[in-house]
């Protein structure tokens, strides 16, 4: 049996997700969260930001680190820059509902973009 990581989203429930799936896609497709991804998952817009309740990964892509440093943001992570490779519990803090945007943004690719350099 293949073990699948569990994704818990506060207020939505707990879901089995494919090992290695991008967190932004797991939130949207598996948990049914209307998570924003305005830049299409490229670590530019920060609209896919989430808060970790449990299981925050220690590694971070260089692109995620750079955009947080440039904008002076801390305490959140970019769901487009994280793969589901362990059980995690998160809070959806940036959703289409209430954003005033017409849609969630361009669909992110299956793999992390830009190609990840892990820090």
Residues lying near ligand FES in the complex (CB under 6 A) are found at: 37-39, 41-48, 78, 80
Q: How far is the CB of 3 from ligand FES (least distance, A)?
A: 27
Tokens 């904008």 locate to 71
Among residues 8 and 113, whose Cβ is nearest to ligand FES?
Answer: 113
For the record, the structure tokens of 48 come out as 């896919």
Q: Tell me the CB-side half-sphere exposure of residue 40, using CA atoms within 13 A.
A: 5
Among residues 16 and 106, whose Cβ is nearest to ligand FES?
Answer: 106
Among residues 16 and 70, whose Cβ is nearest to ligand FES?
Answer: 70
Q: How far is the CB of 86 from ligand FES (least distance, A)?
A: 20
What are the beta bridge partners of residue 89?
8, 54
How far apart CA 33 and CA 93 sit, in angstroms, is 10
């Amino acid at each position: 049996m293949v073990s699948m990581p569990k994704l818990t989203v506060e207020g939505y429930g707990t879901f089995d997700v494919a090992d290695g799936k991008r967190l932004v896609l797991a939130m949207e497709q598996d948990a049914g969260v209307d998570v924003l991804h305005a830049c299409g998952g490229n670590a530019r817009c920060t609209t896919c930001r989430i808060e970790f309740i449990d299981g925050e990964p220690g590694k971070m892509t260089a692109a995620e680190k750079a955009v947080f440093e440039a904008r002076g943001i801390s305490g959140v992570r970019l769901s487009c820059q994280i793969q589901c490779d362990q059980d995690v519990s998160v809070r959806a803090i940036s959703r289409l509902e209430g954003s005033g945007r017409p849609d969630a943004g361009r669909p992110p690719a299956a793999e992390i973009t830009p190609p990840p350099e892990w820090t």
